Amino acid sequence: MENQIKIDYNLEFIKDYRKIRQVEDNPKILLHVCCGACSCYPLTFLLDLFDITILYTNSNIYPEEEYDKRYETLKYYVSYLNDKFNKNIKLIKDSYDYTNFKKNLTPFKDEREGGLRCEICIKKRMQTLFNYAKEAGFAYVSTVMSVSRNKNAVYINKVGKELEKDYEGIKFLTFDFKKNNGQLIGINISKKLNIYRQDYCGCEYSIYKQFEE
């Protein structure tokens, strides 16, 4: 097995952020968020660093009622942060289109959680993130997905950096939000505020897998 160079993504972010602040006082970031629970720690971390706009683009979530429930949870938490810290985090809700989204996933419905199906799902949403950033003129983008212990931060950041090459003027900022007790901090915040924490990733195949197990 080849030795892999371990990257400290949070350290990479610090280096990038120092460069950003040399030219911008209040940089704007378009942040992909998958649900309210996963946003708890990342948003508190980024709160004083960026002017944050959230893109809720998650047509992987099944059923639509669950999609709406996760959005309403996120909306509640954003409102809480804005009120408590006098911020102006903006929230954009993308249209829901699970039928088309799952077409690329169905051939891999029997894949294990975290396998190729999940990689395709992650990449599709991040592609949408970059497309929206291009249209709306954002220079910086990222995602909160790395906060979950079930998500591969190496893959997430790799996809972000690969997409960055195709979108001139847009920089993907790397994170591994689960580090430094990020996930635990997020769980504690969600419990304190009684924020809904779902028990499955999102797509219908992850539900079926839970039933089988």
Q: What is the pLDDT of residues 82-117, one digit of tens each?
A: 999 999 999 999 999 999 999 999 998 888 888 899
Mean pLDDT, rounded, for 196-205: 87
What DSSP designation does 140 have? E
Name the CA dihedral angle for 17, 22, 27, 32, rounded to a multiple of 10 degrees: -20
Provide, rounded to the nearest whole percent, the portion of the chain with pLDDT above 90: 84
Q: What is the pLDDT of residues 40-68, one digit of tens each?
A: 999 999 999 999 999 999 999 999 999 99
Q: What is the pLDDT of residues 136-156, one digit of tens each?
A: 999 999 999 999 988 999 999
Using the predicted structure, report yes or no on whether residue 207 has a pLDDT greater than 90.
Answer: no
Closest alpha carbon to 49 in 33, 26, 82, 31: 26
More confidently predicted of 127 and 149? 127
pLDDT band at 2 (very low <50, low <70, confident <90, very high): very low
Using the predicted structure, report yes or no on whether residue 213 has a pLDDT greater than 60.
Answer: no
pLDDT band at 209 (very low <50, low <70, confident <90, very high): low
Give the C-alpha separation, 125 to 143, whole Å: 10
Across the chain, mean pLDDT equals 93
pLDDT band at 1 (very low <50, low <70, confident <90, very high): very low
Check whether the bond before 63 is cis (ω within 30° of 0). Answer: yes
Using the predicted structure, report yes or no on whether residue 27 has a pLDDT greater than 50.
Answer: yes
Bridge-based pairing state of the strands 51-56 and 171-172: unpaired
Residue 3 is predicted with a pLDDT of 46
Domains along the chain?
26-212 (3.40.50.620)
Which H or E run includes 31? strand 28-32
**Neighbouring residues of 179: CB distance < 8 A, sequence distance ≥ 6:** 9, 10
Structure tokens at 188: 């504690």
Residue 190 is predicted with a pLDDT of 96
Residue 208 is predicted with a pLDDT of 59
